[in-house]
Chains A and B, each alone.
Chain A
Amino acid sequence: MSSSGQKRGHVEQSQAGRFLRRDRVFNFLIPDVVDRLDVSDPVLLYLEDVNVAFDGFKAINNLNFYVDSGELRCLIGANGAGKTTMMDIITGKTRPDSGTVRFGRNVDLLDLSESQIARAGIGRKFQKPTVFEKLSVFENLELAMADDKSVWNTLHCKLNSEQQDRIATVALTVGLPEQLGQLGGKLSHGQKQWLEIGMLLMQEPLLLLVDEPVAGMTHQEMDKTGELLLSLAGTHTVVVVEHDMEFVRSIANRVTVLHQGSVLAEGQMDDIAQNEEVRRVYLGE
C-alpha cells in the first residue's frame, strides 16, 4: 500500500486509477493490515506540498510540515490559518487536492480511511470535546482502548484484568476515578475535555494530535495538562495546537507558526517570539 511519493489528486481520481492499474490486486482484496511502521527515519510525520481549497478559498497552501519521532511540537497561528484543516488531513477527515502525507517511511495516509489511520497509531483530540454522551465514562474509555476493533471480536470479547487496570489507571490520570459510572453527557465541559484526553491515552497512539486541550480550563488544570503532555513526549510524538501563549511557552520545544495555509516560521519558542513577521501577523507587538 505504499506509494512512490507521487502527488495524489482527488479521491475519485485515485479510486478510478486504482482499478486500472495492472500491477496490483483490487484494494478490497488486500487484507486490512497496515504495513509495519518503518520509523528508521527520525521523522515520523511528513506533509509535503499539500494543497486544499474549499470552494475557491485556499485553506492549505503548499504546506510542508515534518514532525520528528518523540517530539512535542506546538502549532500556533491565527484563526483560519489552517491548523484544524491540517489535522483533518492527517486524520483522513479531509482529502487534500494535492500533496503527500506519510506516516513513518512507508504508510501513505491518503490511502487509508479514518478508522484505518486511527488504528495505524494516530490519535486525535478534537477542538470540541466529543465524547459518547450516552455511554458511561468507563465505556468511553473501553471503546477507545487499543484492542482488536473488528466486529467479530467486539461481539464476544470480555475485558481481562489487565485491561480493566489500564482503564482505571487512565481514569486516575485524567482525574475521573469517581466518575467511571457516570454518563459521558453528564460531565462538565472540563471533565469532558479530560475524558477525551483519557480516550486518547487509551488508544496508545504513536502520534497524538491535540487540538486546543486547555480551552476553558483553570490554571491548575492547565498545569496538569502540560505535565501530562510533557510526560508523553519521548515514547509518543505529540503535536499540540493552542492559542494560549502562556501554555505554549510552558510546554514548547519546537514551535511551528501556520499562516494562511502554509508554514510561516518554525523554531524554538524564543526565536519565534522574536520573529518580526510572526509578531506582525500573530503575536502582536
Chain B
Amino acid sequence: MKLLKRCCQGTIIVVRLPDLISRFAELIFRCVALVMLILMCAPAQAQDNWEDSPLQQLSAELTSKKNDIKLRAIDQLAASESEHRARWLSALLEGELYVEKSTKRIVVAERQGKVFVLTNPDDGSDVGEAGRRDVAKLKINNAIRVKLRSILSTFDLQHPDAEKRLSSVSQLVGKIDSAAVPRIRELMATESDDRVVESMRLLVSIHDLSDGTDEQRQQALAYADGNLNNDLINALRTLSVSGETEQVRVLATDLVQQADVKRALYAKVETLFFGISLGSVLVVAAIGLAITFGVMGVINMAHGELIMLGAYTTYFVQQLLPNAIQYSLIIAIPAAFLVSGTVGILIERLVIRHLYGRPLETLLATFGISLMLQQSVRTFVSSQNIAVINPTWMSGSWVINPALSFTMNRLIIIGFCLVVFAALLLLFSRSGFGLQMRAVAQNRQMARAMGIRSSRIDALTFGLGSGIAGIAGVALSQLGNVGPNLGQNYIIDSFMVVVFGGVGNLWGTLVAGMTLGIANKIAEPWAGAVMAKILILVSIILFIQRKPRGLFPQRGRAVED
C-alpha cells in the first residue's frame, strides 16, 4: 500500500515538473532583482552626513574577528589626520564602540535601561536608539588595549597643558614603540617644560641603550650615570649581558652596581623612615601610660581601649560631618582628647582612687574595665572593623628619587607626634600643673605637705594621660584598621616602651618608643613580623637585668621607699 502511495506522489511531481521549474525560476529572478536594488540603494544611504566620516570607513575592519586585522584598522585610524581619531580610539578602549548590526555603522552606544542610546563617535551628537539585540560591542583584547593606550598617549605629546604632556610621556617610558622614538626626539628639541624634557630624555635613553647608534648609546650611558629610574636600570642590566662590545658591557655592569648600592642605601633609609613612623606612634600611644605610671604608680590596662575610643571618635566625627572630611581630623583631635580624657577621669574617680596604694589590684581592676570597654564597643557599635577615611591632604607621597619616597600620611603623623611630645614637654616643664605633677611623682607626701591636692592632680593626670591616648587613636585611625581589638594590639607595645624607657622622664619614652619602632622594622624583613616581636620582647626582658627601672628611672630617695 505504501509503495503505491509513493509511486503516486512521484508521478504527480513528474507530471507537474515544468510548471515547478518555471515558478522557481521566477522566484530566483525576483530575489536577484531585489538584491541588486538594495545594493544600488546602499551607496545612496551612505550619502547621509555623519556616515561620510572617513573614520567610519577605516573602522569597518574593526568589526573583523581577526585581531591582526583589527590592529591594522587601529593603525590606520591613528595614522589618519582626522581630529576625531582620539575620540574614536578612546571609545574603543573604553568599550563604548558598537556596530549596528543592520547598517554596519559604528556608533558609540550607552546602555540606558533596556535600550542603547546611540551617538556619533565623531562628536557625540545624538543618533537614535537601538534595542539590545540591534548592536554588537566591538571587542578588544589586552594586546589591543596596550596598543591603544600607547597610541593615545602619543596624541597628548603636543597637548597645550604641560601636565598632560608630562603624564603622556611618563606613561610611554619603557613601553614605547621603536618607531615612535624619532618623533620624541623631534619634540624634545622644541619642548618648553623642563620636566617634560627630562622625561623625554629618559625615554629616549632607555631606547638608545639597546637600540640606538653607538653615539646615542654613549650618550645614554652618560645619562644613566647616577640615575635611579627602575626601567633605566633594567635596560642597563640587559645591556650588561647582551651588549655588543666588552667595553659597553663593563660600563653597563659598573653603572648597575653603583645604582644597586645606592638603592640599597635608600632602602635602608626607607626602613628607618618606617621605623620612625612606627616609633612616633608608639611614643604617643605610650606616653599617656608613662605619665600615669610615673605620677600615680598605676598601670592602666585600659589604656589600649582609650586609644581605641579615640579612633572611634574620629570615625563618628566623619559620620556626623560627611561633607567636611577634609576638616574631620582637625575636629577629631580635640574631640578624641575630650572623649578619652573624660572616660579616663571617670575611671580614676570611680575605681582607681579607691585602690590607692595597691598597684597590683589597680592593674586587675583596669583590666576588667578594658574588657568592659571592648565589649561595649562590640555590642553598641559593631564587632567588625569600621572604615575611617583618609582625607585627601594626607594621601600621596614626597618623592625624593625613584628609589625613595615618603608617604604623606606617615610624614604628617611623625610631625604630629613630635608636636604632641613637644607640647607635653612644655606642659611638664613650664606650667604650674606640670610642676605639681612632677612634685607628686617624686614625693607625694611632701607635695601634699606643701598644699598640693594630690587627689586632684591624680584625676587630672589620669585625664591627661587618657586624653593623649585618645589623640594617639586619631593618628592610628589613619594608619591602619580600626576595630574593637585595636587597643589590644598596642597595649603590649606600650608597656614595653614604658618598661624600657622608664618613667622618670618624657625623653625616656621618646627614646624607647623610637628605638622599639626602628628595631621592629629592622628585624621584620630579616626575621618575619612574629619572630621580630618575640626577639624584641626577649631583649627587653634581658635589658631589664641591667636597668630594672628602665633607661630613665624616677630618681630620688622617696621613690626607693
In-complex A–B contact (CB below 8 Å): yes
Q: Are B555 and A12 in contact (CB under 8 A)?
A: no
How many Å from the CB of B48 to the closest CB on chain A? 97
| Residue of chain B at shortest CB distance from A85 | B557
Chain A contacts with B in 217-251, Cβ cutoff 8 A: none
Chain A contacts with B in 1-53, Cβ cutoff 8 A: 12
How many Å from the CB of B158 to the closest CB on chain A? 73
Q: Let me know if A162 is at the binding interface, CB within 8 A.
A: no
CA distance A12 to B548 in the complex (A): 13
Q: Let me know if A55 is at the binding interface, CB within 8 A.
A: yes
How many Å from the CB of B559 to the closest CB on chain A? 12
Q: Write out the residue numbers on chain A whose beta carbons fall within 8 Å of the beta carbon of B555.
A: 55
1/0 per residue B531-561: CB within 8 Å of A? 0000000000000001000000001010000
CA distance A54 to B546 in the complex (A): 19
How many Å from the CB of B323 to the closest CB on chain A? 56
CA distance A55 to B555 in the complex (A): 8
How many Å from the CB of B531 to the closest CB on chain A? 29
Would you call the interface of chain B mostly helix, strand, loop, or mixed?
Answer: helix
Q: Write out the residue numbers on chain B whose beta carbons fall within 8 Å of the beta carbon of A55.
A: 555
Residues of chain A at interface, number, CB under 8 A: 3
CA distance A250 to B557 in the complex (A): 32
Q: Write out the residue numbers on chain B whose beta carbons fall within 8 Å of the beta carbon of A12.
A: 546
CA distance A54 to B560 in the complex (A): 13
| Residue of chain A at shortest CB distance from B561 | A128
Residues of chain B at interface, number, CB under 8 A: 3
How many Å from the CB of B548 to the closest CB on chain A? 12
How many Å from the CB of A107 to the closest CB on chain B? 26
How many Å from the CB of A62 to the closest CB on chain B? 22
| Residue of chain A at shortest CB distance from B547 | A12
| Residue of chain B at shortest CB distance from A55 | B555
Q: Write out the residue numbers on chain A whose beta carbons fall within 8 Å of the beta carbon of B557.
A: 54
Chain A contacts with B in 109-127, Cβ cutoff 8 A: none
CA distance A55 to B558 in the complex (A): 14
CA distance A25 to B192 in the complex (A): 80
| Residue of chain A at shortest CB distance from B555 | A55
How many Å from the CB of A238 to the closest CB on chain B? 26
How many Å from the CB of B164 to the closest CB on chain A? 66
1/0 per residue A55-70: CB within 8 Å of B? 1000000000000000
CA distance A170 to B431 in the complex (A): 56
| Residue of chain B at shortest CB distance from A12 | B546
1/0 per residue B366-383: CB within 8 Å of A? 000000000000000000
CA distance A55 to B546 in the complex (A): 19
CA distance A237 to B155 in the complex (A): 104
CA distance A221 to B142 in the complex (A): 104
Q: Write out the residue numbers on chain A whose beta carbons fall within 8 Å of the beta carbon of B546.
A: 12
CA distance A150 to B557 in the complex (A): 31
CA distance A270 to B130 in the complex (A): 126
CA distance A54 to B557 in the complex (A): 9
| Residue of chain A at shortest CB distance from B546 | A12
How many Å from the CB of B185 to the closest CB on chain A? 69
CA distance A54 to B555 in the complex (A): 9
Q: Write out the residue numbers on chain B whose beta carbons fall within 8 Å of the beta carbon of A54.
A: 557
1/0 per residue B281-314: CB within 8 Å of A? 0000000000000000000000000000000000
How many Å from the CB of A27 to the closest CB on chain B? 15
How many Å from the CB of A55 to the closest CB on chain B? 6
How many Å from the CB of B236 to the closest CB on chain A? 51
| Residue of chain B at shortest CB distance from A128 | B561
| Residue of chain B at shortest CB distance from A94 | B560
1/0 per residue B74-101: CB within 8 Å of A? 0000000000000000000000000000
How many Å from the CB of B551 to the closest CB on chain A? 14
CA distance A256 to B560 in the complex (A): 28
CA distance A131 to B557 in the complex (A): 21
CA distance A164 to B555 in the complex (A): 44
CA distance A55 to B553 in the complex (A): 12
CA distance A55 to B552 in the complex (A): 13
CA distance A122 to B555 in the complex (A): 28
How many Å from the CB of B507 to the closest CB on chain A? 16
Binding site for A on B (CB under 8 A): 546, 555, 557
Q: Which 3 A-B pairs have the closest CB atoms?
A: A55-B555, A12-B546, A54-B557
Binding site for B on A (CB under 8 A): 12, 54-55
Show 3 A/B contacts (Cβ-Cβ < 8 Å), sorted by A: A12-B546, A54-B557, A55-B555
